Structure 1
């Protein structure tokens, strides 16, 4: 495969990633990871104004590597609203798309402080 075709295939893959961005549904909220606590737990500041202790579920521990300042989707627990599960980590291209379309306004305002 030539260089031109490789570049075109890479651009097509990026465009597909951006077109299939998962947005929060129902009780899910977008958040930013503030601090890793260990044991697959971390503090996440959510768009609804709450700071939650979130964990990565066991089925995703090896697949999902989360660092500080990553944008994630959090599902709060039904019986304890101060805790939640991390469902998805957005990639950098997806974060740019979310910012461009105004989905991360709450996080951008909080980062100014």
Structure 2
């Protein structure tokens, strides 16, 4: 009995934690491709997994019927960048990300409040 199932289009990701096995079943091909067990999210023909041991986000493409894996990003570097970005609006003078309808001159004032740049 699977401990986890994810479905996206023709692909079904299954995990049997008790047996330490996982795979992606391609409903159009009628067969599974074995993949590594871990924290995964299924997309259209590929998985993204957090490799805790190496601190990487790993992409596994299964569209060909075989698991083709490559590093996608350095997870720790992404976390550091996310912390910097989330802190940016509270730093005096920090520019806020451009968004539709936002005055591009917006920035945080000395108290960390957003002012309209006018």
What is the TM-score normalised by the length of structure 2?
A: 0.24
Question: Relative CO higher for 1 or 2, CA cutoff 8 Å, sep ≥ 6?
Answer: 1
Higher helix share: 1
What is the TM-score normalised by the length of structure 1?
A: 0.25
